[in-house]
């Protein structure tokens, strides 16, 4: 009998500022690592400043490595749809631009099917007042963000953006998913 756990999987998500997503998924049981970066654009090796200009086509994303024996891709998406607004095109709160779009960059046909089914189920249940506009697209080249963006919330919890934008999203996640928190 094979007792090895399945291979680790990768998920790549965009839901506004990557600091928010990274801070939440760092606390999710089954997630081994989270990296902030950029995906979905046309510029090779983009910088933060280039992505913020809106000219590269990239989204701010997180790439997370997870153990599907502990947390499924569907569960990762359930968290995703609670912690950001998937109904606003190219915007999350005061953050406006294509780099802040809601996006699921799938790494397999199975991830694509799960993403489409989760969106279909949420839409049918009318969880949101407005239609879900989350992009579902194949993963492309991931560009890791500059070092100072990694673990930004953990290192800068008192920074105003972190205090007023990131912290409430982390609190919302913890409230809704208490049983899925890392110990």
What is the pLDDT averaged over residues 95-99? 91
Alpha-carbon distance 118 to 26, whole Å? 22
Q: Catalytic site residue 17?
A: yes
Q: What is the pLDDT of residue 94?
A: 84
- Cα gap 97→108, rounded to integer Å: 27
User: In the chain, where does DSSP find H-type helix?
Assistant: 18-25, 48-53, 73-83, 109-125, 152-155, 160-161, 167-176
Digit-coded pLDDT (tens) for 16-53: 999 999 999 999 999 999 999 999 999 999 999 999 99
Catalytic residue among 17, 20, 52, 162: 17
CB 141 within 8 A of CB 42: no
Residue 2 is predicted with a pLDDT of 47
The per-residue pLDDT for range 44-89, each reduced to its tens digit, is 999 999 999 999 999 999 999 999 999 999 999 999 999 999 999 9
Beta carbons within 10 angstroms of residue 103's beta carbon: 22
Distance of alpha carbon 82 from its chain centroid, rounded? 11
């Amino acid at each position: 009998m094979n007792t090895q756990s399945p291979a680790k999987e990768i998920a790549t998500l965009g839901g506004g500022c990557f600091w928010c997503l990274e801070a939440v998924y760092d606390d999710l049981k089954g997630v081994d690592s989270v990296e902030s970066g950029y995906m979905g654009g046309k510029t090779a090796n983009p910088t933060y400043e280039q992505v913020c200009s809106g000219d590269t086509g990239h989204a701010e994303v997180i790439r997370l490595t997870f153990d599907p024996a502990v947390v499924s891709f569907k569960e990762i998406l359930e968290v995703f749809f609670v912690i950001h607004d998937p109904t606003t095109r190219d915007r999350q709160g005061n953050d406006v631009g294509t780099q802040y779009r809601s996006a699921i960059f799938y790494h397999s046909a199975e991830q694509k099917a799960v993403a489409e089914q989760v969106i279909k189920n949420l839409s049918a249940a009318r969880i949101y007042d407005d239609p879900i506009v989350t992009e579902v697209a194949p993963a492309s080249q991931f560009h890791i963000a500059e070092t100072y963006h990694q673990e930004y919330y953990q290192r800068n919890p008192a920074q105003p953006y972190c205090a007023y934008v990131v912290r409430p999203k982390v609190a919302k996640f913890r409230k809704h998913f208490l049983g899925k928190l890392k110990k």
